[in-house]
């Protein structure tokens, strides 16, 4: 039987192009229409630049990967250290290329959950390397340092705002004006800020009429400041299944659709 549980719903997918494929496929498998509009570009740093930074770092006891992007761009820099992953998607990306994950949160997908793991309770004197993009949350490093660890960052990619032509913006505006977007998916506060910055006011006015689905409370708080009045739904996590469940739960109540 064909799954049509999202039939009639248009979903704006703002994830970077490579990361969006699985979510797009799931939306389509449930009968929805996925509209790609990446609000973030992931640019891998050159090997020479990474190795130059790496030369100044101590050999780690533990390497933490903060995202699948960090794994894709930087797994080769883990060496023989214990490997930790923030969340199941990151852990799955590591295991997909044949490496084992030594530390992963059993109960969540963010820094707070990983820091609660027993392996990070006693880290005095240990060297921890966090592999990530060129910027990010400081909670992991600050907390581990407060527990006595020597913490360093290795940036293996950059997150950038995408550039869109006037024609690209006009095409999305037409879709929004036609009320063909019922749900907007946002995975990070940075993606939200980029989307709002990219779109003209006319598009933002229409965007407020869609339902925002996100796995991050921080995104909801910022969305209510940037797009006052937008209805929001907090997914249980960032996994594709979590996002789809959130859409299914609230899809029938999406603006512009009859219950």
> pLDDT value at position 2?
55
Q: How many residues does the chain have?
A: 259
Q: Where are the domains of the chain?
A: 1-41+172-180+240-259, 44-158
Unique residue bearing structure tokens 């910055």:
197
CATH 3.40.50.10090 for domain 44-158, yes or no, is yes
* CB contact at 8 A, 155 and 228: no
Contact 159, 13 (CB under 8 A): no
Element (H, E) at 44: strand 41-44
User: For the chain, what percentages of helix, strand and coil (3-state, to nearest 5) are there?
Assistant: 40, 20, 40
Name which of 166, 188, 141 is nearest 19 in CA terms: 188
Alpha helix (H) residue ranges in 83-239: 88-96, 111-115, 139-146, 166-177, 189-198, 201-207, 217-226
Q: Where are the beta strands (DSSP E) in 37-169?
A: 41-44, 62-65, 82-85, 103-104, 127-133, 150-160
| Residues 6 or more apart whose Cβ sits within 8 Å of residue 2 | 31
Structure tokens that stand for 233 in this block: 């739904």
Which token pair is 2? 């064909």
Per-residue pLDDT of 6-39, as tens digits, reads 999 999 999 998 889 999 999 999 999 999 999 9
User: Ramachandran region of residue 169, left (φ > 0), alpha (ψ -120 to 50) or beta?
Assistant: alpha
Contact call for residues 9 and 257 (beta carbons, < 8 A): yes
Note the pTM of the prediction, 2 decimals: 0.84
Residues of the chain with pLDDT under 70: 1-2, 251-259
What does the block give as tokens for 220? 């909801």
Q: For 199-221, how does the pLDDT look when each residue is reduced to its tens digit (9 = 90+)?
A: 999 999 999 999 999 999 999 99
């Amino acid at each position: 039987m064909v799954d049509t549980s999202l039939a009639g719903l248009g979903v704006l997918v703002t994830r970077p192009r490579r990361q969006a494929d699985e979510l797009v496929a799931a939306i389509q498998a449930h009968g929805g229409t996925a509209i790609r509009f990446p609000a973030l570009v992931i640019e891998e740093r050159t090997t020479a630049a990474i190795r130059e930074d790496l030369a100044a770092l101590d050999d780690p006891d533990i390497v933490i990967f903060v995202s699948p992007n960090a794994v894709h761009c930087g797994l080769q820099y883990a060496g023989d250290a214990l490997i930790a992953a923030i969340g199941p998607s990151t852990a799955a990306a590591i295991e997909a290329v044949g490496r084992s994950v030594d530390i992963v949160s059993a109960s969540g997908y963010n820094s707070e959950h990983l820091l609660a793991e027993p392996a990070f309770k006693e880290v005095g004197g240990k060297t921890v390397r966090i592999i990530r993009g060129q910027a990010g949350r400081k909670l992991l490093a600050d907390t581990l340092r407060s527990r006595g660890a020597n913490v360093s960052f290795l940036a293996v990619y950059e997150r950038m705002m995408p550039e869109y032509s006037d024609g690209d913006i006009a095409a999305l505006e037409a879709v929004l004006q036609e009320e063909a977007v019922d749900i907007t998916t946002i995975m990070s506060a940075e993606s939200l800020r980029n989307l709002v910055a990219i779109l003209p006011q006319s598009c933002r006015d229409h965007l407020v009429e869609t339902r925002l689905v996100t796995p991050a409370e921080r995104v909801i708080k910022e969305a209510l400041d940037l797009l006052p009045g937008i209805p929001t739904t907090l997914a249980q996590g960032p996994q594709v299944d979590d996002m789809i469940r959130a859409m299914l739960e609230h899809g029938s109540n999406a603006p512009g659709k009859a219950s």
